[in-house]
Each structure stands twice: as structure tokens, then as C-alpha cells.
Amino acid sequence: MSAVGSSADNAAAESFNATFKRETLQGRRAFTDEREARLTAFRWLHRYNTVRRHSRLRQQSPITYERNARPAPATLAPAA
């Protein structure tokens, strides 16, 4: 068991937060206001959940992964 507040207990959250910081804050000095910060976070989160490729999904975006993972709809055979 690790110590209280250890990042080992929250590896997935720590990885997500690090990715968020790296992809949104790197090279940025400051936001002009709270609205800009919120919009930047929302845009990134939308991209992360729909378009961005994930290693866990075999380098596919979530949309592509879901499209490929769903079984093809069954077709009805004509009645005899």
C-alpha cells in the first residue's frame, strides 16, 4: 500500500492531467480571462474524447474505434 496522496494510486488521473497540461499549457504564458481558459479546456476535452488518437485504442480515435468495434447490423433475409 502506498502513502496517502501518492500518484501511484491515481496513475490514470495523473497521466490524463499531465497530457492536458502538456497539450494545452505548454508554451503559454497566461490566459487573458477565465472564459478563454474554460474554452481552451473544453475544446481540448472535446478533441481528447472524439478525435485524438489513444494508445489504449490501438492508436485510433474514440470515434473510429467505436465505429470499427460495433458489429455490422443484421440484415433480414427475405421471407420464403
Query: pLDDT tens-digit profile of 9-19?
Result: 788 888 889 99
Locate cell 494508445: which residue?
55
Q: Which residue has the cell 485524438?
A: 52
The span from the CA of 16 to the CA of 24, in Å, is 12
Reference 22, options 14, 12, 32; nearest CA is: 14
What gap in Å lies between CA 24 and CA 59, rounded to an integer? 20
Question: CB under 8 Å to 46, separation ≥6 — which residues?
Answer: none
pLDDT in tens, 17-46: 999 999 899 888 899 999 999 999 999 998
Structural domain boundaries in the chain? 32-70
